[in-house]
């Protein structure tokens, strides 16, 4: 699993946010578009593309996009 | 063999549009709700209108639409999680109101989104065993009465409604073999905690859940992430099992009508199961998620609009509260 690919996939879960604004160090909870629905998109992405299960609580405890990547890598 | 012989549904009069809903939640956009959740408007039961009242209307509509004599019904079952009373069973009240003979069997069963398919399994069993010949299957739900006014997510998703289906020894869709499943370890992920025996009195209490949502004891609570993960695990496995049980290959299924949970979840399921868009039903724009009635409403819509036709094999499935899931194949005659 590649961090850059993951960041790109993560950014694709947003409809109105410029992908340029999202990098590995982005504190994604602070993005204006972030909502419970985007969280669902990320949970689905992780399940569909990486075959792993992350919970809403785990996602909530992540601060940056890289934290999510590390979480998935640890599973 | 058991068949679906007739199908009708009833939606309550009051319609709540997204425009109305966002007035209460200015941070929520009309477009966003429509685009993600796939719901433009939903019907809400009136203040004194119960699931039993709606089931009655759905059944009366069925009798009228298909010219069915209530006297021909020898079994009645109602799927609801909002019964009129703790006891008696709402189906017993409906037997009398509908003019169904006193020689008919009747009971309620408590299931949500998987309930319609479970009902078909039970009805098929009753017919196969020679217990009954004409089983009236009713589904009715008023989840909106369980929702906290501040719960914008669920208020945007759920609509109230009821459906009626006659399962008989002949009809237009033969009911195939079933895949059923249950996982009670997820009971807390979709629950109304108070009002029944475990906690009869309301508590007025609430906590913040692990995702940061408010969990009110006295209202419907859904752990969105957990339900989402459950669905993405359970549905692809169930799909495979339905195919095995019916000795079919995926390519032999002509159309898929799954529980209309919300558009976002359906889109994700479709992608994960690698199903073509033109074979996968998504239509909850005017009804919302009506819980146990979505599959029957969808089936009726597909028949009326000739989306499905004679000779088609239709996979149907429901999944949700329990946690519980069920699916089968319908063979259109």
Give B107-155 as a DSSP string: EEE--STTHHHHHHHHHHHHHHTTS-SEEEEEEEE-GGGGS-TT-HHHH
Tell me the residue range of the domain where B282 lies.
179-332
Q: Is B154 in the same domain as B20? A: yes
Lowest mean pLDDT of B7-11, B117-121, B191-195, B212-216, name the range: B212-216
From B171, B189, B218, the end of a domain falls on B171
Q: Are B137 and B119 in contact (CB under 8 A)?
A: yes
Whole-structure pTM value? 0.93
Helix/strand number for chain B, H first, E second: 9, 16
Q: Are B293 and B259 in contact (CB under 8 A)?
A: no
- Interface mutation target, options A15, A34, A55, chain B, most CBs of B under 10 Å: A55
Q: Which residue has the higher pLDDT, A56 or B49?
A: B49
Report d(CA B193, CA B264) in Å as an integer: 27
Average pLDDT for B123-129: 98
Q: Is B157 in the same domain as B13? A: yes
**Residues above pLDDT 90, as percent of chain B:** 89
Average pLDDT for B318-324: 97
Query: Of how many residues is chain A composed?
Result: 75
Q: For B251-303, write each residue's pLDDT tens digit.
A: 999 999 999 999 999 999 998 888 999 999 999 999 999 999 999 999 999 99
When the pLDDT of each residue in chain B is averaged and rounded to a whole number, the result is: 96
Q: Which residue has the higher pLDDT, B93 or B273?
A: B93
Neighbours of B96 (CB within 10 A): 10
Tell me the residue range of the domain where A63 lies.
3-14+22-73
Q: Is B147 in the same domain as B288? A: no
For residue A40, what is the nearest residue in chain B, using CA coordinates? B225
B213 interfaces chain A, CB cutoff of 8 Å: yes
Taking the CA of residue A6 and the nearest CA in chain B, the distance in Å comes to 18
Average pLDDT for B126-134: 98
- ipTM for the predicted complex: 0.78
Q: Is B215 in the same domain as B84? A: no
pLDDT of residue A31: 92
Taking the CA of residue A21 and the nearest CA in chain B, the distance in Å comes to 21
**Residues above pLDDT 90, as percent of chain A:** 59
Of A44, A53, A60, the CB nearest to B211: A60
* A/B interface, count of CB pairs below 8 Å: 51
Report d(CA B156, CA B137) in Å as an integer: 27
Q: Give the total number of structural domains in chain B.
A: 2
CATH number for the domain including A68? 1.10.1200
CATH number for the domain including B292? 3.40.47.10
From B138, B171, B204, the end of a domain falls on B171
Q: Give the total number of structural domains in chain A.
A: 1
């Amino acid at each position: 699993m590649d961090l850059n690919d993951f960041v790109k996939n993560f950014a694709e879960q947003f409809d109105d946010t410029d992908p340029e604004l999202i990098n590995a160090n982005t504190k994604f909870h602070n993005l204006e578009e972030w909502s419970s629905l985007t969280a669902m998109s990320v949970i689905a992405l992780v399940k569909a593309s990486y075959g792993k299960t992350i919970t809403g609580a785990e996602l909530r405890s992540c601060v940056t996009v890289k934290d999510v990547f590390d979480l998935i890598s640890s599973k | 063999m058991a068949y679906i012989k007739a199908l009708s549904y009833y939606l309550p009069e009051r319609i709540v549009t997204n425009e109305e809903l966002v007035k209460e939640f200015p941070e929520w956009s009309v477009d966003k709700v429509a685009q993600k959740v796939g719901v433009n408007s939903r019907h809400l039961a009136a203040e004194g209108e119960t699931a039993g009242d709606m089931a009655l209307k759905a059944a009366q509509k069925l009798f009228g639409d298909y010219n069915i004599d209530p006297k021909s019904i020898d079994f009645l079952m109602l799927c609801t999680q909002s019964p009129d009373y703790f006891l008696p069973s709402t189906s017993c009240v409906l037997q009398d109101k509908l003019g169904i003979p006193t020689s008919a069997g009747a009971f309620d069963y408590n299931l949500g989104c998987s309930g319609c398919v479970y009902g078909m399994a039970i009805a098929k069993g009753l017919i196969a065993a020679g217990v009954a010949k004409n089983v009236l299957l009713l589904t009715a739900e008023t989840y909106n009465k369980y929702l906290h006014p501040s719960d914008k997510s669920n208020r945007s998703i759920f609509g109230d409604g009821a459906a009626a289906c006659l399962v008989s020894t002949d009809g237009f869709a033969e009911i195939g073999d079933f895949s059923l499943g249950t996982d009670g370890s997820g009971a807390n992920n979709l629950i109304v905690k108070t009002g029944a025996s475990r906690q009869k009195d309301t508590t007025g209490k609430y906590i913040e859940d692990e995702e940061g949502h408010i969990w009110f004891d006295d209202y419907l609570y859904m752990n969105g992430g957990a339900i989402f993960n459950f669905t993405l695990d359970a549905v692809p496995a169930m799909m495979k099992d339905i195919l095995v049980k019916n000795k079919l290959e995926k390519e032999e299924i002509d159309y898929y009508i799954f529980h209309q949970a919300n558009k976002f979840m359906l889109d994700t399921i479709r992608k994960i199961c690698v199903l073509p868009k033109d074979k996968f039903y998504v239509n909850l724009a005017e009804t919302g998620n009506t819980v146990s009635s979505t599959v029957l409403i969808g089936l009726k819509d597909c028949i009326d609009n000739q989306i499905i036709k004679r000779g088609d094999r239709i996979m149907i499935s429901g999944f949700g509260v329990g946690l519980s899931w069920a699916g089968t194949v319908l063979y259109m005659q």
